[in-house]
Structure 1
Amino acid sequence: CLCYRLSQDNAGSIIQCLAASVVEFQGGELEKYVDFPVRDLDPSTIDMLGTLEIKKIIFGDLLVPEVLLARVLRFFSYTRVQEMAFESCSFLGRSSWREMAGQNLPILSLHFHNVTSAPLTGREQDFSELGSWLGTLQELSVTSSHVTSLPCGIGRVFRALRSLDMAQNSLGDGSLMPAFCEGAFPQLQVLSLQENNLTSYHGVCRSVQLLHELQHLDLSQNKLVASPSSSCQWPASLRIFNLSNTGLDELLTPLPPGLEVLDLSSNHL
């Protein structure tokens, strides 16, 4: 069910969408609703939200004040929404997430594509206050969003994350070691770093050594250069390794001992 241009005028179409399993909101500016009073829900409203069949919500082409998002996100705890996506959205300003402290949400999969927001650096406290929810999240993608770094403290919040997609961003060699520090993403199995600004083959290897559950790593479309003097060991758990279109001109060793799939297509071998 698709709703265009969020506003009070099209509230009827929003109500019609409440019966759908996937709801998509496209277009609109939510700044005018920043001062809208958000009150606690009464029991009958909570019961109604629990009966909705909505499993996935997509927000597209929206200007989203972070202060408004922080105030309404906790209401999703009363629903059965499992997946949320933001596509071509701009998050405005910064907000306190204190109201979300200790709040659990049913959302297990969270996606951001082509979004802009305040830098992640220095926001560890914000993510900590969302820890009860983010600590149960299983799938996260932040793609085509000009991300340059992922602070260590943020990764430690995602205790149950299985899949992380950071494709088509601006991550460089120096940003990976802090991102995958001791205690960050302890359950991570699938990691995509496709089409970033990575250049050091062995530098990436050293950066992911603490990801002991990693099974699938995608480094495709990065221009990688290897150091012949390095003998870095990739995580022994790695089973699928995508090195396609990375400019490599030789097969580098040592490879993970349990590797099952190695993609070296579109290289100079």
Structure 2
Amino acid sequence: MQIFPSFAVLLLIGHKLPGSFACTVDLARSHCTCSFADLKNFYKFLVCMDASVFEFRDGNFEDLSDISRYTQTLRILAPNLELPIDKIILGNSVLDENFLKMFLDVTQNVKIRELVFEDCIFTGRAEWRSMKGTLPQMRSLQFVNVSSASLTDRGEDFSYLSSWIAQVENFVLTRSQITQIPRSISMHFKDLRVLDLSENGLQDQGVSGSFSDGLFFNLMTLKLRHNNLTSFDVACKALSQLPNLQDSDLSQNNFAMPPSSPCEWPPSTRLLNLSDTGLEHVNAHLLPPSTEVLDLSYNQLSVLDVSLPHLKKVYLSNNRLLSFPSSNNLPDLEILFLDGNRITHFPKDQLQTFKHLSILKADQNPYNCTCSVVNEMKELSNRSLEVQQWPEGYFCDSPSVYKGQQVKEVECSVSEGHKPLFITIISVVIVLVYIVPGEDSLFCFI
């Protein structure tokens, strides 16, 4: 770290002040945590000068005079920090917008990879016109569990920040009760690659308006997990307007009503998460054919009969499936999760047709422990195929004599394991006994 002469003097003074260090540092993570009150005494922060992650908590900045005092401290600290800074977290605080404006102004020449606001309340309204042309150097911006006044009429304010917002690549706005992103704001995110709007109050209309044509052109990852979406048609139409979209997370919404029209996904789609969305059926018109990773777990599917030639990983845990999907529909499949369904046996011959399958997870199913099923399951577990949770997660549901017993512990006698063959042999012997004449011949077979 380069230390300027004036700062070196302050550092030496700080070492002579007993009990001056109040911030805490996790050296393993290079993480410094301070309360905002610690910054009132500059020397309490000196222990953190070599950290790369800074967390400031428990502040109340509704008084402009307080903001002014902190500005002076930050102006001294900013040029002397170890650069680049990986992350700055501002948490559990009440922040007037003027504090945010001051912070962006002070750090405009400091390279910060990620700025996070967590459990914060924003108050007031700053005059952003003077910020035009200022370029804080950060590419990732997160707001987690924050609240503020409505943003619907803030388009002009955001226009003064457009040169900075246009550089943001990763934007997270979660647990903040938003219902939509006004076009007057979203239009400034020119280079956004990752957008996470999980755990909000987005409804169908809000999604339709937030992703209209021409917005988020470069977006590659979109997370809409745990919102209030109910129309798969609306969600799909919105996402279809994102030409570079690769990863979509729509999990924990409610798509129980089947779509009324085919879905035209972006051809770039590679990962799709539809877990816990109330789906009862899926068909070729619902899923993107280019998908490589598909999560349909925690739904109500009884069958998966869809051709996805590029699919490599599929997660079907906790559905109502009675059988394995067909390898003809999934020729490139490598990973298959089927735990928590209603499957009663391993179809060994069918599994062998999956030429690329390397990982199988099928525990917590009600297995019918006939000898043939037990032997096939044991045989599969000894092959190159990795059967996860074997043997501890695989139990017999029937016949009653084995119910609750671990599949691996079931022992079949030779006669039980080859019962059809034994029945055939005995039947042949009985027939021969009755059709071969002569007493000597009879004794030959007895």
Structure 1 counterpart of 2:116, from 81, 85, 90: 85
Contact 1:114 1:145 in 2 (8 A): yes
Identity rate of aligned residues, in percent? 40
Contact 1:237 1:256 in 2 (8 A): no
**CA offset at residue 16 of structure 1?**
3.2
Select the residue among 293, 298, 320 that pairs with 1:261. Answer: 293
Q: Does 1:66 align with 2:97?
A: yes
Q: 5+ unaligned residues in a row in structure 2: which ranges?
A: 1-31, 302-446
Distance 2:76 2:166 in 1: 27
Q: 1:19 to 1:51 in 2, by over 3 A?
A: closer
Q: 1:114 aligns with which of 138, 145, 157?
A: 145
Alpha-carbon distance in 2 for matches of 1:240, 1:12: 49
Q: CA deviation at 1:124?
A: 1.4
- Whether 1:96 and 2:127 are equivalent positions in the alignment is yes
List per-residue Cα deviations over 1:100-139 (Å, max 9, x = no partner): 2122121111111111111121111122111111101010
* Alpha carbons of structure 1 residues 12 and 68: separation in structure 2 relative to 1, 3 Å: same
* Corresponding pairs, count: 267
Deviations 1:143-201 (A, max 9, x none): 11101111122111101110000000000000112111222111100000000000001
Task: Provide the rounded CA distance (Å) in 2 between the counterparts of 1:68 and 1:47.
Answer: 16
SS at match of 2:299: coil
Give the TM-score normalised by structure 2: 0.56
1:76 aligns with 2:107: yes
Q: Does 1:25 align with 2:22?
A: no
Structure 1 residues 142 and 148, CA gap change in structure 2 (3 angstroms): same
* Paired residues of 1:102 and 1:132 also in contact (CA < 8 A): yes
Residues in 2 aligned to 1:11 and 1:49: alpha-carbon distance in whole angstroms: 13
Residues of 1 paired with 2:103 and 2:260: CA distance?
53
Distance (Å, rounded) in 2 between the aligned partners of 1:117 and 1:142: 12
Deviates more, 1:199-208 or 1:25-34: 25-34
The structure with higher relative contact order (CA 8 Å, sep 6+) is 1
Query: Compared with structure 1, are the counterparts of its residues 235 and 76 closer, same or farther at alpha carbon in structure 2 (3 Å cutoff)?
Result: same
Paired amino acid for 1:92? T
Q: Kindly state the Cα deviation for residue 74 of structure 1 after the two structures are TM-superposed.
A: 1.9
Residues 219 and 242, structure 1, Cα contact 8 Å, conserved in 2: yes
Q: Is the 8 A contact 1:34 1:68 kept in 2?
A: no
Q: Does 1:207 pair with 2:262?
A: no
| Counterpart mapping for 1:1-269 below 5 A | 1-6=32-37, 9-34=40-65, 36-37=67-68, 48-49=79-80, 52-254=83-285, 255-269=287-301
Assess, with a 3 A threshold, how the Cα gap between structure 1 residues 11 and 37 changes in structure 2: closer, same or farther: same
Q: Is the 8 A contact 1:143 1:168 kept in 2?
A: yes
Q: Assess if the C-alpha contact under 8 Å between 1:49 and 1:78 holds in 2.
A: no
Please tell me whether the aligned partners of residues 49 and 79 of structure 1 are also in contact (alpha carbons under 8 angstroms): no
Distance 2:186 2:280 in 1: 33
How far apart, in 2, do the equivalents of 1:82 and 1:165 lie? 17
Once the two structures are TM-superposed, the CA of residue 52 in structure 1 deviates from its matched residue by: 4.2
Q: Which runs of 5+ in 1 are unaligned?
A: none
User: Higher mean Cα deviation, 57-66 or 3-12?
Assistant: 3-12
The aligned amino acid for 1:32 is D
Post-superposition CA distance 1:235-257 (Å, at most 9, x none): 11111000000000001432223
Does the CA contact (< 8 Å) of 2:194 and 2:219 recur in 1? yes
Q: 1:121·1:149 contact (CA, 8 Å) conserved in 2?
A: no
CA distance in structure 2 between the aligned counterparts of 1:171 and 1:68, rounded to whole angstroms: 28
Distance 1:9 1:173, change over 3 A: same
Distance 1:184 1:15, change over 3 A: farther
* TM-score, normalising length: structure 1: 0.91
Indicate conservation of the 8 Å contact 1:243/1:264, yes or no.
Answer: yes
CA distance in 2, matches of 1:15, 1:65: 26
Q: Distance in 2 between matches of 1:26 and 1:37?
A: 18
Q: Is the 8 A contact 1:26 1:60 kept in 2?
A: yes
Query: Which of structures 1 and 2 has the bigger CA Rg?
Result: 2
RMSD: 2.4
Find the residue that maps to 2:115 and give its secondary structure.
Answer: strand
